[in-house]
Structure 1
Amino acid sequence: MRNERNIKIVATLGPASSDYNMIRALYEAGADVFRLNMSHGTHEEQAERHAIIRKVEADVGTPIGILGDLQGPKLRCGVFANDAGEELENGQTFRFDLDDAPGDSRRVQLPHPEIFAALEPETRLLVNDGKIRARVKTCGKDFAECVIEAGGTISNRKGVNVPDVVLPLKALTEKDRKDLEFVCELGVDWLAMSFVQRPEDVEEGRALAKGRAAVLAKIEKPAAVAAYDAILAASDGIMVARGDLGVELPVEQLPPIQKRLIRGARGAAKPVIVATQMLESMIESPMPTRAEVSDVATAIYEGADAIMLSAESAAGDYPVEAVTTMSNVALQVENDPTYLNVIEASRKVERTTVADGIVAAAREIAEATEIKAICCFTQSGATATLVARERPHVPIIALTPLVTTARRLCLTWGTRCCVTGEVDRFKMAVVSAAKATREIGLGTEADQIVVTAGVPFNTTGTTNILRVAPCDERLIFSADPD
């Protein structure tokens, strides 16, 4: 039996989690959304995983979200004559260039002319996840002469990060374009874009997706942090991707940046995922470290919509245990009185529309009385995300005639999704909401709910009505011709 919590869990699928039994077990342990990482695996393997998720969804009778995560451009150095690599010493000079000859202790190819076009003296180059740090002294259109500030072993095709400049690279490579079309045709609900530096990157992905998937921007570059407000406005959601971000920025800057990104996304009523190394030790251990548990808890206290497992569920030895641990931590935090105080203190939203006022009133009514749930009818999902932005103390039930909307809302905080038939009267909506509340087990006929919707129905962006209704609404009104 799944434990229902407000924060959602995203589990990455991979070699350790590719068959029906394991994916079903991950769902039952608490996974709400499954991530298909396009950096690994063939299209055939990802299509098989997608089909299994949809089979699990059909068997459990609950919408399940799927996130397709694009690889983005990968910047890597060339190869060395010595396959074991070379040892770079602090203070020595080292050259990166476009020459495809094998590297040695003095130079190596960097097959990305776009990098050289953007470099300036004093720019940093970080190699192998920042383990080697070099600073540019002189540079041209095809080379960069550097001084090694932190040495180490450099070997074949190690990753290179350039944190100090905006690179003239698009977020979508040719591989990404093919992968994007593939996953959109497959039917993913969310599309995560890597290497986003500017809002135009997100807009390019949105144009190619053509509405088939919601677009989520991964914030993993300093340039993306600097342009965050514009990127957020162009996106349907955000991922705080702390891997590359932690390489390119001083690690002590990550906590305040994470808080700011979460706060911004929540204010915009857009789901935000916190990702990378959340339970890293559980790749090989059945138990997490205390620091990892605290890291997961911190993201929950900050009000994130979702927390994500990467290698822990994709390639680790304990994928189900990792999801279970994450769920248990979430339940413990969300039952802590301090959590409610923190969430309430962070509820600073600029309300400018009728919909903003309706959802704020729904939360206040629910928290002031014995209301069991806030039920919202939504076509696009916007009403549900506005309710979730309020972080109410009661469950949110999103009712929609569109299965695509229900699946996308699996990423939204506190939201339980139900696919219903079309309704054309508010009274029908109330009857459906009461029925859903009873069937989910959140209320009995003696309880009350708050129902929000937009009239006219089936029109996006018209949230304008609210009613407190009994859960036995079917007995009172279902036969009423009005």
Structure 2
Amino acid sequence: MSAFISKTKIVATLGPASFLPAVQRRLMAAGVDGFRLNLSHGDFEEHAAVIASLRKISGEMGRPVAIIVDLPGPKMRLGMVPKPITVRRGAKVRFWPASQARPGKGIFLPHEISGLAQGVRPGSIIFVGDGMMQFKVKSIEGEIIETEALVAGVVRSNKGVNIPGYNTPSGVLTEEDKRGIAFAIQHKADVICISFVGSPEDMLAARALLPQTGNYRPCLLAKIERRQAVANLDSILAQADAVMVARGDLGIELPIEEIPGLQKDIIHRANMAAKPVIVATQMLLSMVDNARPTRAEVTDVANAILDGADAIMFSEETAIGHDPVAVVRIAKKIARQTERRLVKSGGVALEVRAAIRSEDSIDDLISSATCDVLENRTVDLAVTPTATGATARRIARLRPRPWIVAVTDNQTVRNILALSSGVFPLYVSSVSLSDRELAELLKGAGLVRSGTQRLVITAGSLTGVAGTTNSLKIIDVS
């Protein structure tokens, strides 16, 4: 398998359709760069086994992948539904606390939301599963909420619940989240997703629970899915290592017609901050059941790439879909075709480049100068020895034509960089390498073809020390 498949990275959520190691291996072979474990489902023992499986397969295939642990957050959810429930439009559906005995016959949906009956009123709309199911409240008797289904569909366990105007809990970490962070640290997950972030303080609270010493530094990702998060985006970006445009809940918290513009704005501001950005929710949703996506879904994936997303994430498509591998293969095809247009047009990176040229930081000057050199058609590859991945990410946000090979001696940094657009991370025991040693390393990894190739290499005044990159050089490798 070629190292350079597509610059846009793919994240696959694991679930019943993809828990088997054989499927995980096929997903990696198809081009998955990160695997998401949703802690809202399953238990720690199951997730630990999956992480061990992914690490084993990744090592055998020599393919770096990021292990992403997604915390539940204070999200309102349904309880356990013994089997999927098919609901017809107009059907009478009752919500009741999962902690109580089932009240009687009919369609009852258990929920785990404290005080829900006191927080809604007749006429309120209850959205379930990223808004795919909608229920209008008709009456309330004690803790039983009687509703009418406004659309037909299927309801499954643990689906998220949203109610516009409902006073939802804040984004401060729950006790379940804290246990999830401890689990992620124990198993050295590469990325930890903080759900329902509302302020930079939420990110600081999570960061305080991370290891403060040693080489293990997981990436802390802020999921942008609340109105408050959009309002505080810049301050959240300052405290986050990466962000996700979580369009499911965002599209219920805010008018759905605002989502396309918000997506572009969030991606642009993340690019400016040199923070990786993932776009998620319903990217190729029809492929849960169908062999091919809709034309609108293909356009949606392409537009996210054109907007400047580093990665595209799939949820149901790879967790419960009938062919998760086909989803990844089609996504890669869309990405490759879209990236050809990006190369021709310069895309959104031109705006970012113009903005950072006015900055006076050495980091920005080096990344801008590197991309200027990379635009020369005789240059084949950028190489960035890095301790933290910062230089590679700063160059990657400018979307240069050649690939960026990030050479690092930190396994976690390597895996996190697998999520940055156009970056191929390469692990070495030491980044203190001469030009000749670096060239031989690239040859041995199959990243340099036969014949002369021209490389642009970034360097620092103190090799292997974070934050000291201050120069670049050009070498020819035969």
TM category, shorter: 0.7 to 0.9
Which AA in structure 1 matches 2:368? A
Which AA in structure 1 matches 2:383? C
Say whether the 8 Å CA contact 1:455–1:463 is kept in structure 2.
yes
Partners of 1:333 and 1:222 lie apart in 2 by 30
Report what 1:8 is aligned to.
Answer: 9
Q: How does 1:288-327 map to 2 (within 5 A)?
A: 288-327=293-332
Report what 1:199 is aligned to.
Answer: 200
> Bigger shift: 67-76 or 375-384?
67-76
> Percent same amino acid at aligned positions?
37
> Bigger shift: 198-207 or 342-351?
342-351
User: 1:376 and 2:384 equivalent?
Assistant: yes
Report what 2:234 is aligned to.
Answer: 229
- Which among 217, 240, 247 is matched to residue 245 of structure 2? 240
Report the alpha carbon displacement of residue 63 of structure 1 after superposing the two structures with TM. Answer: 2.0
Report what 1:397 is aligned to.
Answer: 405
Report the alpha carbon displacement of residue 344 of structure 1 after superposing the two structures with TM. Answer: 4.3
Report the alpha carbon displacement of residue 96 of structure 1 after superposing the two structures with TM. Answer: 11
Report the alpha carbon displacement of residue 343 of structure 1 after superposing the two structures with TM. Answer: 3.5
- Which among 465, 471, 475 is matched to residue 471 of structure 2? 465
Give structure 2 stretches of 5+ with no counterpart.
none
Report what 2:70 is aligned to.
Answer: 69
Q: How does 1:253-272 map to 2 (within 5 A)?
A: 253-272=258-277
Say whether the 8 Å CA contact 1:115–1:167 is kept in structure 2.
no
Report the alpha carbon displacement of residue 419 of structure 1 after superposing the two structures with TM. Answer: 1.1
SS of the residue corresponding to residue 232 of structure 1 reads helix
> Bigger shift: 65-74 or 392-401?
65-74
Partners of 1:372 and 1:86 lie apart in 2 by 56
Change (3 A) 1:289 1:59: same
Which AA in structure 2 matches 1:128? V
User: 1:328 and 2:333 equivalent?
Assistant: yes
Render the CA deviation track for 1:68-116: whole Å, top value 9, x for unaligned: 111112325899xxxx999999xxxx9999x9798899xx998756889
Partners of 1:423 and 1:151 lie apart in 2 by 59
Render the CA deviation track for 1:184-204: whole Å, top value 9, x for unaligned: 211110001112122211111
Partners of 1:109 and 1:336 lie apart in 2 by 48
SS of the residue corresponding to residue 451 of structure 1 reads strand
Give structure 1 stretches of 5+ with no counterpart.
136-142, 473-482
Change (3 A) 1:433 1:341: same
> Bigger shift: 8-17 or 267-276?
8-17
Say whether the 8 Å CA contact 1:184–1:212 is kept in structure 2.
no
Change (3 A) 1:123 1:306: farther
Q: How does 1:15-164 map to 2 (within 5 A)?
A: 15-76=16-77, 126-129=126-129, 130=131, 131-132=133-134, 159-164=160-165
Say whether the 8 Å CA contact 2:197–2:225 is kept in structure 1.
yes
Which AA in structure 2 matches 1:361? A
Change (3 A) 1:334 1:133: same
Say whether the 8 Å CA contact 2:88–2:149 is kept in structure 1.
no
Report the alpha carbon displacement of residue 6 of structure 1 after superposing the two structures with TM. Answer: 0.9
> Bigger shift: 122-131 or 170-179?
122-131
Change (3 A) 1:303 1:186: same
Report what 1:479 is aligned to.
Answer: none
Partners of 2:21 and 2:120 lie apart in 1 by 52
Say whether the 8 Å CA contact 1:88–1:148 is kept in structure 2.
no
Report the alpha carbon displacement of residue 178 of structure 1 after superposing the two structures with TM. Answer: 1.4
SS of the residue corresponding to residue 321 of structure 2 reads coil
Which AA in structure 1 matches 2:259? L
Report the alpha carbon displacement of residue 459 of structure 1 after superposing the two structures with TM. Answer: 1.5
Partners of 1:275 and 1:197 lie apart in 2 by 18
Report what 1:476 is aligned to.
Answer: none
TM-score, with structure 2 as normaliser: 0.83
> Bigger shift: 11-20 or 409-418?
11-20
Change (3 A) 1:283 1:100: closer
Say whether the 8 Å CA contact 1:401–1:420 is kept in structure 2.
yes
Change (3 A) 1:24 1:219: same
Partners of 1:158 and 1:14 lie apart in 2 by 14
Report what 2:368 is aligned to.
Answer: 360
Render the CA deviation track for 1:247-269: whole Å, top value 9, x for unaligned: 22221111001001111111100
Render the CA deviation track for 1:366-391: whole Å, top value 9, x for unaligned: 11241111101110111111111111
Render the CA deviation track for 1:396-439: whole Å, top value 9, x for unaligned: 00001111111110111100111123244xxx342343234434
Cα RMSD for the two superposed structures: 3.9
Matched positions, count: 460
Partners of 1:249 and 1:49 lie apart in 2 by 35
Partners of 1:157 and 1:385 lie apart in 2 by 36
Report the alpha carbon displacement of residue 213 of structure 1 after superposing the two structures with TM. Answer: 1.5
TM-score, with structure 1 as normaliser: 0.83
Report what 2:223 is aligned to.
Answer: 218
